[in-house]
Structure 1
Amino acid sequence: MQYINFLPCEWNNDHGFTQEIFAIAIKNNIGIGNPDTVPYRKSQMKNSYQFLHKYKADINTITIAVQEPDYTYTNPKTSKKFTQAELYDFDKNYIGANIIFWNIQQPQFDSVLKFFANN
């Protein structure tokens, strides 16, 4: 498992480095992860998210984390803070995550447990 988020020398794969890392991971059956769930955020969408989405069928395991700061972002589609359901849907369906690591801090964790208990 290799986490890929940003390369400090690259934006939107302008040097091809991110694409190359994904190609190597896929060729060598290495899972890929990301430390943040921030749907639609330009800095995420222009970097690793676009490749996770593009190659989700080719990557054997995709992991992503939902961390405490991720709950502070506003969904541009609703103008409200992201819900657990929206974060889960983005990770599962857009990113293609097989494993999602959820923040265990309160009060978010109780909401996560309720979400999964009801779905």
Structure 2
Amino acid sequence: ADKWVLLPSEQAEITVATEAFNQIIAATASQAGLAFVDAYTLLNQLANGGITSGDFTLTSSLVTGSAFSLDGVHPTARGYALIANEFMKAIDVTYGSNFEASGNLLNVGDYPTNFSPILQ
């Protein structure tokens, strides 16, 4: 029944609103001279093929995707490491720091995920 699911038209409305809000957030951050991490795009990349970092490709797949915990909402430690790297890259771009150039981004493989690596 409609009360239990989002109809395609409702999904489209949510997408339009989300993209509009994301543009407002990005513009506001830019006007204020703040670093900006586009979490919407990051999550879409995880859902559509994944993001490779070092020797690992993180996806939004539950359990084996490595990005999200078993609740399917919160990132794993590896997912948080990926997010931290994105923040450091944004700080580099905005403020001229050198996290990435100096090799100080996190190795996401150093952080655990939901399942044993022998299951990969």
Q: From the two aligned structures, give the one with the greater strand fraction.
A: 1
Kindly indicate which of the two structures has a greater share of residues assigned to helix: 2
Larger RCO (CA under 8 A, 6+ residues apart): 1
TM-score (norm 2): 0.28
Q: Which protein has the larger Cα radius of gyration, Structure 1 or Structure 2?
A: 2
TM-score by length of 1: 0.28
